[in-house]
Structure 1
C-alpha cells in the first residue's frame, strides 16, 4: 500500500468550496466608516478601475451608500480624488449633480432626500477618468452630522 503526501483532487475541490464563498464575502461586504447613528455603509459592489484608451477610468457598478440617519436633499456628497493625477469628468450620474471640480477632485451631490436606512445607489456607468499612470481613486462619502466614509480603488500599474 502506498501513501501519497500530495492532496487528492477531491480534497482540493472540498477546500475550494469553502474558500471561494469566503473570498466573495470579503469583497462584497460593505465598508463602515464608524458605528452609531452618524455612520454610512458604503458598498463598492463591482466598481473598478478600467483602462480606456490608455487612461484609467472609475467604472461604477453596484456602488451604494446607506446612511444610518436621515439625509436631506443636497446634503450627501461623493468626492472623488486622485492626488497623483488630473481628473476629467465624463458625465454626471442620474440623481446627482456635479457641484465642484478641480484638477484632482470632483464633487457630486445628491438631488433627493432619503430616510435612515434608505439606500442611495450610484447608477452604473463611467463618469470620470484620469491622465493615466498609477495611484488610486479615493471616493469619500460625507453629509452634515455624519461620519465620513472612504473607499479606495487602486489603479493597476
Structure 2
C-alpha cells in the first residue's frame, strides 16, 4: 500500500513540477514582453481611467442617445429639401460607434494593465508549486524505499 501511495506522490509531484516549470517559463517570457511596453501600458490605463476620459465617454453616450432624435428631425419631410438627412445619420452612427470604441479601449487597457501587474505574482506562485512538486517527489521516493525495505525484511 505504501508503494502505491509513494508511486502516486512521485507521479503527481513530477507532473506538478513539470507543468509548473513549463507555465513558469511561459509566464516569464510573457512578462519580459510586457516589460518592453510597461510605460505605454500604464499610460494607456491612466488615460482611459482619467476623469477627462470618463466625462468625454459619458458625453458621447448621451449624445448618441440624442443623435437619433437629431437624425429624425433632420430627415423630416418639411426640411428634406435641405439635404441634411445624411448629416443626421452620420452623427447618429459616429457618436454611438465612438462611445463603443472608447468603452472597448478602456476594457482592453484594464485587462492589459492587470495582466501586466499579475504576471510576477503568477510566476512566484508557479515557483512555489515547483517546490511543492519536489516535496511530493521526495515523499513518494521515501514511501517507495520504505515499502521495498519492508518487503525484503518480510521475505527474510
TM-score by length of 2: 0.25
Structure with more of its chain in helix, by fraction: 2
- Structure with the larger strand share: 1
Question: TM-score of the superposition, structure 1-length normalised?
Answer: 0.25
